[in-house]
Structure formats: structure tokens, C-alpha cells
Amino acid sequence: MPRPLVVGNGKLLINFDDRLHMRDLYYPYVGQLNHVGGHFSKMGIWVSGQFSWLDEDGWQRKLGYEKESLVTDVHCEHESMQISLHLSDGVHQRDPIYLKKVRVHNRSSEAREVRLFFNHDFSLNESEVGDTAVYDPLLRTIYHYKRNVYILVNGKTNIGGIDQYSVGIKRFHYAEGTWRDAEDGLLAGNPIAQGSVDSTIALRMMLGPDEKQVMTYWMCIGDSYSDVKKRNQYVLESDPERLLSRVSVYWQRWVNKEERDFADLPAEVIDLYKTSLLIVRTQIDQHGAILAANDSDILQYNRDHYSYMWPRDGALIACAMAKAGYTGVVAPFFRFCAEALTDEGYLQHKYNPDGSVGSSWHPYIVDDEIQLPIQEDETALVLYALWEQYKSGKQLEDCQALYPTLIRPAARFLLDYMHPEWDLPMPSYDLWEERRGIYTFTSAAVFAGLKAAARFALLFGDDHRFQRYDQGAERIREAMLKHLYDPQLGRFLRGYSAGPEGRLEKDFTMESSLFALFAFDVLPADDPRVVNTMEAVKRSLLVQTPVGGFSRYQGDAYFQKAHDRSLVPGNPWIICTLWIADWEIAKATSWSELQEPKERLQWVVRKALQSGVLPEQLDPYSGAPVSVAPLTWSHATYVGTVLRYLEKVQELQGRKERS
């Protein structure tokens, strides 16, 4: 199930599903550890003897965000209960504090008592073993704790604070949890429980006919009781409603800090651009990890998740964010990579947010032959992204500090890890992590990484290394034209995949990642070889259903939905569709040629969830999101494509003025 609502600040990330369950709570790292773990912490309401959880079918729900903000804008209405709720959720921009405001509207012609219930199904440090939930009569709060994780919950109405509470056992010895206790409108008041526990609190208000009132609720997360106690006091002294308003203002200022002329782009395209910037921000940990996705429901597919930092994804996301003016946000990513770099100078498959090496399925040995289990593009693209960041922010000191710790060792590895006969990178795994060989995308990425290293060497007056890196890049370019371009086909190959006994065999599969040829400046976008290749990509990977879009490659089986491969080569991906738009923008020489890529941006808008969240891929028949949502890479690619469109508009305007 996608996560249409995400709120966070780089320390704390909270995700909600489309039924408004809190499904993920990550702290102290974005993506690590998940203290909800996909279970269902939820909200309910009791009105005049009738009870309903907000996930039930009687509710009409509309999910979104406040304009240009990371505060949610959610409307819920229950016709038979004659009640409507307007929910606003946000995470404090600095501290691990979650805030919620509920505007309750009594749509009845009678005065009524309303009780709002909040259930908390935590598994602290991703385990239900040894948790404690306790009512604190001095603070008049509930808090859960285990070792170094404390979560305190509180709230208030114009009548007072927590009116009822109960803590108890969940999912053990037939105990369902205290959420079941809430359904008669009364909580038992049990003050403590340990083991597999949950808690529920109730807040009470009296509303006259057609009256509206505001209730506030909050969670304070910390490493100790003292931490959460201080944060709870901070919320009380600041007033939670006013504090949430300040959160909204902060994010509005943040997303609009760069003045930008959006030319002829429609309002909905601009709105999604800003939403994408905000959502990407929630997926970046304060210590530098840029997480792929934090939708824990993917665990049901393969018992692993996307809450990792893939250096490739992170590098391309960092490029887009730097280009958008957020160099400071992504600067820690490069320090993270410098610390993660092996002594040999390469980055591994993926990493946990704390910097430890993540899970992998790439072996060190195949058919009795030892191999390096890496995707070489991941190392190369970090160098490429660092140069792109330097161009955007001109942070010379940061790059100088990374020159001996990241740039030089990584560039040395790229130069050494070369096929002795072909002058192309040695075999490694492709960007989709599925096959091993020598690929056009990887070769283009290594070319771009060495070019970036050469530019840094020149910047720092290191002429000897400049020549080595630049000449190495040029050898790769020449080798790509010799080995990866097929003159009989008139286009580039996906590459050479490892066949029987490790032999490299030509791979003719049409592949969306061939966009790297122009994106990483191996060849111009209008070079006939690139044109022929990209036109073939468009013909071969178009999803020929009403959903549209472009797939990753021919025969893609990941989350396969296709019934007819001739019409659906694979599920449509957001990033792959935007790569097509990037090429159309790059080669455009007139306003008319920009209409097609502009339509692709509008296609992405139409495929976003109601809240603006973008998935990884789509069902080719229904258009429903497939795999994780939000996917950080999807949002960052959209940001990058919008910026390339605007750059091209400026270029065309400049040509017109000069003529």
C-alpha cells in the first residue's frame, strides 16, 4: 500500500497510508529504525454513542498537503454520524516532534459530546519484545519506552488534556489491543503494561449545533525520559496549534527560497515540482544518506525494503536537488560516501542510513570465478554528482576537503578497473541490479565520473592527475563508439551480458537507460547515433495502453503485470518516461518541439497520487501505483526534468533575441 502522506525533518520520518493509519515512524535515522513497522496506529471518534475508526468505509477521505508545505491537508466526513474532520499533520522542522491539529465540525442541529481516540501500536527498535507503555500522572501523558527510545503522546482540547487512557497487551495470548477497548467510547484506565503492548488515549470536547472546535495532539520522540519531557514542555509552552503553523510557514519559505520563472508550465506542473522538492527532503537523513523509499509494505514482496542508500540513486537525486538550489541539503551525502568508500576506492551495493553496509544479492564468486560484487556506475556517479553540485553552489572548500578522501581514490579505482583489451569498464552489475556485464549506461557513468575528477584536478591545479583522468575518460568514449555502437543496427547496444562460462555476448535488449549517452555528455543529444538509439527506445518501450508511459526495458518482469508483451514491454516507470522527456528537451530547437516533453510532465502529474506522491511504477492497465510510493528517485527526476525544460526555454528565448 503506498504512503500518500509523509512528514519529516531529516531526524524523524512518519508515513500514513490512504486510510490514515500511521504505518511507519523512523527515528533516529530516516529509514532506520521503524518503530511502527507497518502496523496500524489509528484514530477514531465517538459521537453520541456511535463509534468509528477513520479507516472504516463510512468515511469520505480527501488527502493532500497545504499549499507548498509539508503540513498535510486532510478532509474526512462521515455522513451518518453528521461529523467532519479537517486534519493537519506535520513534523517540527528542527526537533523530533510530531504535531496534529484536528478541526472538528458538528454538522448536527443538536449539541453533542465528541471523543477522539488515538491508538499507538509501536514496536520499539523494530521489536515488540520488552516494550513498556505507561501512564505518567505527573505529566498526564502516556509514553512508550525501551532502552534508548522514548515516545511520549499528549493532546488537549478547550476542556483539557487526556481525558481517558489505557495501556495493554496486543497480538499475544488472544489480546487484540486497547484499540478494541475504545469502541464503546470508554477506556479501562490500565496504567502500565510490558512486552507486546499498545496504548490508546481519548480527548473530549463539547460542541454546539453546527459548531467547530480545534483539538491538538502530539508525539515527542527522544533518547530518554528527560528528552521527551523537555519536548513535551516545549510544545505546551509554545502552544501546539501555533507551533504547527510555524512548521507550515518554514516549509513554505524553504520551498520558495529560489526565485524561479516557470515560463509556460501549467500550475499543476509547478505544484508537483514544489511538492517533489518537499517530499525528497523528507527522505534525506541529516547524516547524509539519501533513502530510496521508506514504504515498509514492500517487505511483503521480498522480505527486504527500500530503506537503503543506493549511491546511484543518491547521486542522481543530489544532482537534481543541487540544480534546484539545495546544495546544503545534499552536501552531507558526499561526506557519507567518502566515509563509506572502501580502501580500494569503490562504493558497495547499498548502505543503511547509519553508514553500515546494506543487504545484497551480488555474490563474490560465480562459476568458481571470483568477482567484485558491485555496480560500478554507483562509484562513478557520485563523482559526477559532486561536480554538478560544485557548479551549482561553488562550495570550493567542501570539494577540496573531499579531493583526497573521495575524488582521487574513486577516480583511481575507475582507471584501474578497466578491461585490458576493450578500454571499457570491467564487468559489473547493471543499474537495475539484475545482470552482470559491460553496459552502455555503466560505461557512460564511468566516463562522466572520470571527466568530473579531471575537472576537479584542473580546479585544484593538479595537472598530472587532470591528464590521467581526462585521457582515461576519452579512451572510454572511443571504446564505446567501437564496441557498444552497432553500425548495422544504427544504434547503441544495451551492452554485453555475461553468457555461458562467463563469455560476454551482445545484449540487443532495448533499454531506457541508454539516455545516459547524452545525459552524461558522451555524445550530443542530436548526434545521429543518439537520435537513432533514442527513437528506437521510444518505439520499443512505449506502453500501448491508455495508461501510457515508458517501461525500463523489453521483457521487464519486476512486478510484472503485462498480458501482451507486444503492447506492454514492461510496467511504465516514472523515471523512464521522464528520461524520454529529457532527451526531447535536450534536442529541441523550437517551441513546438517542447510541447511533447511538456505533455510528459503533465502525464506525471496525472499519475501522481491525490496528495502528489509519485510511485516507482504503474499498473499498465489500471494506472494504480506499483511497488513503493513515494520513490525519491521519481520525485527528483521530475524536479530535474522541469529544470531542464526551463533551461531550454531560456536558451530558445536567447536565440530568438540574438536573431
Phi, psi of 45 (to 5 degrees): -140, 140
Q: How far apart are CA 331 and CA 531, in angstroms?
A: 35
Q: Residue 244 in contact with residue 141, Cβ under 8 Å?
A: no
User: Parallel, antiparallel, or unpaired for β 192-195 and 365-366?
Assistant: unpaired
Type of residue numbered 323: K
CA atoms within 13 A on the CB side of 259: 0
CATH code of the domain made up of 5-229: 2.70.98.10
Q: How far apart are CA 253 and CA 503, in angstroms?
A: 56
CA atoms within 13 A on the CB side of 111: 3
DSSP 525: T
Strands (DSSP E) contained in 20-80 are 22-29, 32-34, 43-47, 50-53, 59-62, 74-78
Residue 62 host element (H or E): strand 59-62
What three-state secondary structure class fits 257?
coil
Between the CA of residue 240 and those of 207, 221, 237, 551, what are the distances in Å? 21, 15, 8, 46
Low-confidence ranges of the chain (pLDDT < 50): none
Q: How far apart are CA 305 and CA 297, in angstroms?
A: 8
Q: Residue 480 in contact with residue 522, Cβ under 8 Å?
A: yes
**What is the topology classification, in CATH, of domain 312-541?**
Glycosyltransferase (1.50.10)
Query: Mind giving me the DSSP string for 189-229?
Result: ---EEEESEEEEEEEEEEE-TT-EEEEEEEEEEESSHHHHH
Q: How far apart are CA 598 and CA 584, in angstroms?
A: 10
101 CB burial (10 A radius; 0-12, 13-18, 19+) = buried
| Residue 227: Cβ within 10 Å count | 17
C-alpha cell belonging to residue 527: 548526434
Cα dihedral 47, 51, 52, 53 sign = positive
Quick: pLDDT tens for 286-332: 999 999 999 988 866 566 899 999 999 999 999 999 999 999 999 99
Q: Residue 612 in contact with residue 256, Cβ under 8 Å?
A: no
Residue reference for cell 516532534: 97
Q: Residue 166 in contact with residue 190, Cβ under 8 Å?
A: yes
DSSP 183: G
- Find the DSSP H helices in 480-527: 516-519
Q: How far apart are CA 371 and CA 348, in angstroms?
A: 13
DSSP 170: -
Which sequence spans correspond to the domains of the chain?
5-229, 312-541, 544-659
CA atoms within 13 A on the CB side of 293: 26
pTM, whole model, 2 decimals?
0.97
Strands (DSSP E) contained in 500-636 are 504-507, 550-551, 572-573, 617-618, 625-626
Q: Which residues neighbour 286 within 8 Å (Cβ) at sequence distance 6 or greater?
A: 10, 11, 30, 332
Q: Residue 186 in contact with residue 146, Cβ under 8 Å?
A: no
Residue 122: which of 223, 4, 33 has the closest Cα? 33
What's the pLDDT at 1? 64
Specify whether the backbone of 489 is left (phi greater than 0), alpha (psi in -120 to 50) or beta: alpha
Residue 444 host element (H or E): helix 440-459
Q: Residue 605 in contact with residue 268, Cβ under 8 Å?
A: yes
Q: How far apart are CA 618 and CA 529, in angstroms?
A: 30
Q: How far apart are CA 503 and CA 572, in angstroms?
A: 32
Type of residue numbered 238: S
Cα dihedral 549, 554, 556, 561 sign = positive
Q: HEC states along 377-441?
A: HHHHHHHHHHHHHHHHHCCHHHHHHHHHHHHHHHHHHHHHCECCCCCCECCEECCCCCCEEEEHH
Which value, to the nearest 10 degrees, does the dihedral of the CA atoms of residues 391, 395, 398, 403 take?
A: 40
Q: How far apart are CA 293 and CA 15, in angstroms?
A: 11
- Residue-level length of the chain: 659
Q: How far apart are CA 267 and CA 274, in angstroms?
A: 11
Residue reference for cell 488537549: 156
Q: Residue 149 in contact with residue 27, Cβ under 8 Å?
A: yes
Q: Residue 387 in contact with residue 398, Cβ under 8 Å?
A: no
| Residue 544: Cβ within 10 Å count | 12
Q: Residue 322 in contact with residue 642, Cβ under 8 Å?
A: no
Q: Residue 616 in contact with residue 573, Cβ under 8 Å?
A: yes
